[in-house]
Chain A
Amino acid sequence: MEEKILTKDFGLKNLFKIKVYLQQGGYKAVKKALEQMRPAEILDEVKKANLRGRGGAGFPAGVKWGFVPQKTDKPKYLCVNADEGEPGTFKDRYIMSHNPHLLLEGVIIASFAVGIHSAFIYIRGEYEAVADRLEEAIAEAKADGFLGKNILEIGFDLEVVVHRGAGAYICGEETALLESLEGKSGHPRLKPPFPASIGLFQCPTVINNVETLANVPAIILNGADWFVKKGLPKDGGTRIFGVSGMVKNPGIYELPIGTNLRKIIFEAAGGMKDGKTLKAVIPGGMSAPILKADEIDLAMDFDSLVEAGSMLGSAAVIVIDQETPILEVLKAVSKFYSHESCGQCTPCRIGISWINKIVRRIASGQGEKDDVDAIICLAENIKGKTLCPLGDAAALPILSICRKFRQELEGQLSR
């Protein structure tokens, strides 16, 4: 059985061109959805498919769409989260550069289902070449009557704008993304109100990750039951696992949701590089708590990872070898989050940079007896005390590293 949904045609030359995409049956899903289905039917199908958000939080996409009020005087917006800043994550770059029309199909169907006529793709600033590719795809889709005014002559209008960020991880958080799109600093908003009711320009807004939307065309074409069978009943479809770090073949691997983590590392990615020994794995992007080498016999789905005390997040698997001191990992994590804290909440702004200073002191050979406990204490006081998830995204992996590798860290303390 063909397992792949999103990446199956990636090997084709010029798949990003609409001509090639159409030859592969491209835009059939848009035609089916707009010509043969009512918006409510699309919504039901996506709900039944249990398509969970691929950005990190795993919220069911259909339910999210359903939160947007049907009747409102205000315009509604769709924001595609293509910020992809979570360290270890590079899957959306592949989707957008290899198969931009697949994403656009998802955008068109989602917009039609929710009654949206204006969509923004918020893409990280560094992906300039990818943004150009998206612009070209949008122009092609417009020329062929899939975007713009009166799409497929059914009276539905949709404009898509590519909006480039400028180097701030926090703008991947959905409300910071909205602020950034409005021309402001990326400071997350207090929730509620949720974006579905008060979002972009104070209007009802859907925010979905690139990979989430890219799954929608296949759900429309093949049905929710088909999609659920590809993955798990509560978590349908495949995931694009991005494997990096000390493996033989780093890259993207699209596999059914629930695939065993050991299998992803040792079969899909070819095992450890240069015969090295596995020490630890970060299973879902840097925000995910670390797993030790003996904890990786796990099904990679949202619920199993939560049970194991970690999270599936963006399904970015970072593989760490025995020779890498765990302090190096802790240093990278604390440096990243202290750099990326937006500064709005004190526990995050002060706490993470404080942890980073302690970690750097340990690395310089000046670590003190109680340093590991000090880091744990600080992280515990960041956890749950910030307005957005960045505080937890920093605190949870730091806590897991300190607790699971305490002995090794304490061995680095000189005083």
Chain B
Amino acid sequence: MSPEYSELLRQRIAEVIARYPKKEAALLPVLHLVQRETGSISPEEEKFIAGILDLKPIKVREVVTFYTMILRQPLGKYHVQVCSNLSCTLLGAGTIIDYLKEKLGIEIGQTTPDKKFSLSTVECLGACEQAPCLMVNFDYYGNLDKERIDRILASLT
């Protein structure tokens, strides 16, 4: 079964490719674009992208598996990534992680049964002045405590 991709996606891919002197250089931006539409990069998507960029699918697989932000399995609607690096740890990231596990009823690396939340730890997000911090999809939240976590989770519907 060949997946359907939107016309808009195909158009944006063509625009991105035109920005580079070599097609292959567009691989990461194309992976970002496709993942935004499909949620993850499955072997089907690898083949689709390989076809567009004149690459072998294995070459796309190599890149997909190297970069942590490119997902091979779809995650929940909201991907909660808590920084567990030093500045956040100093200011209580451990407590934040435990509280999220308890609240969501899942462990790190898991997704809630309703597919709403996935929970991960992540290395430094570059927002250490707001430690402890986390990211929900691409939105940053800082200066976390339990109360703020409650409010953030309640706002995600």
Q: Do A and B bind each other?
A: yes
Please name the residue on chain B nearest to A166 by beta carbon. B67
Q: Which of B54-83 contact A (CB under 8 A)?
A: 55, 62-63, 66-70
Q: Are B126 and A164 in contact (CB under 8 A)?
A: no
Question: Which residues in B have their C-beta under 8 angstroms from that of A233?
Answer: none
> Which among A87, A128, A201, A319 is the interface contact of B22 at CB below 8 angstroms?
A201
* Cross-chain pairs A/B with CB under 8 angstroms, 28 sampled: A84-B126, A85-B123, A85-B124, A85-B126, A88-B87, A89-B124, A89-B128, A125-B69, A126-B135, A129-B138, A159-B19, A166-B67, A168-B66, A183-B26, A183-B63, A184-B27, A185-B67, A242-B128, A244-B131, A245-B86, A250-B131, A252-B129, A324-B90, A329-B86, A332-B86, A332-B89, A336-B123, A336-B124
B91: CB under 8 A from chain A? yes
Question: Which residues in A have their C-beta under 8 angstroms from that of B101?
Answer: none
Q: Are B68 and A167 in contact (CB under 8 A)?
A: yes
Sort A-B residue pairs by CB-CB distance and give the 9 closest, nearest first: A183-B27, A166-B67, A244-B128, A167-B69, A167-B68, A185-B66, A87-B124, A244-B87, A183-B24
Given contacts A126-B138, A167-B68, A332-B86, A93 and B126 within 8 Å (CB-CB):
yes
Question: Which residues in B have their C-beta under 8 angstroms from that of A244?
Answer: 87, 128-129, 131
Q: Are B129 and A251 in contact (CB under 8 A)?
A: yes
- Please count how many residues in chain B sit with their CB below 8 Å of the partner chain's CB atoms: 40
Please name the residue on chain B nearest to A328 by beta carbon. B89
Please name the residue on chain A nearest to B70 by beta carbon. A166
A316: CB under 8 A from chain B? yes
CA distance A319 to B27 in the complex (A): 39
> Which among A126, A163, A167, A332 is the interface contact of B29 at CB below 8 angstroms?
A163
Question: Which residues in B have their C-beta under 8 angstroms from that of A181?
Answer: 25
Q: Are A90 and B22 in contact (CB under 8 A)?
A: no
> Which among A118, A127, A250 is the interface contact of B128 at CB below 8 angstroms?
A250
A214: CB under 8 A from chain B? no
Residues of A within 8 A of B (CB): 75, 84-90, 93, 118, 124-129, 159, 161, 163-169, 180-186, 201, 242-246, 250-252, 282, 286, 316, 318-321, 324, 328-329, 332-333, 335-336, 339-340, 342
Q: Are A88 and B86 in contact (CB under 8 A)?
A: yes
Q: Are A90 and B128 in contact (CB under 8 A)?
A: yes
- 9 more contacts with CB within 8 A, not counting A75-B21, A128-B138, A186-B67, are A90-B129, A168-B66, A185-B63, A201-B25, A245-B87, A246-B91, A321-B90, A336-B85, A336-B123
Q: Are A316 and B128 in contact (CB under 8 A)?
A: yes
Question: Which residues in B have their C-beta under 8 angstroms from that of A324?
Answer: 90
Given contacts A89-B126, A244-B87, A245-B91, A166 and B68 within 8 Å (CB-CB):
yes
Question: Which residues in B have their C-beta under 8 angstroms from that of A335?
Answer: 84
Please name the residue on chain A nearest to B90 by beta carbon. A245
CA distance A378 to B28 in the complex (A): 35
CA distance A319 to B89 in the complex (A): 12
Given contacts A126-B138, A244-B129, A324-B90, A168 and B68 within 8 Å (CB-CB):
yes
Which applies to chain A's interface (DSSP): helix, strand, loop or mixed? mixed
Question: Which residues in A have their C-beta under 8 angstroms from that of B84?
Answer: 332, 335
Given contacts A127-B126, A163-B28, A244-B131, A286 and B67 within 8 Å (CB-CB):
no
Q: Which of B114-156 contact A (CB under 8 A)?
A: 123-131, 135, 138, 140
CA distance A29 to B26 in the complex (A): 32
Please name the residue on chain B nearest to A84 by beta carbon. B126
CA distance A137 to B74 in the complex (A): 33
Q: Are B31 and A87 in contact (CB under 8 A)?
A: no
CA distance A245 to B87 in the complex (A): 5
Min CB–CB distance B2 → chain A (angstroms): 24
> Which among A88, A185, A250, A320 is the interface contact of B124 at CB below 8 angstroms?
A88
Q: Are A183 and B85 in contact (CB under 8 A)?
A: no
Question: Which residues in B have their C-beta under 8 angstroms from that of A328?
Answer: 89-90
Please name the residue on chain B nearest to A170 by beta carbon. B66
Min CB–CB distance A139 → chain B (angstroms): 13
Please name the residue on chain A nearest to B143 by beta carbon. A250
Min CB–CB distance B79 → chain A (angstroms): 12
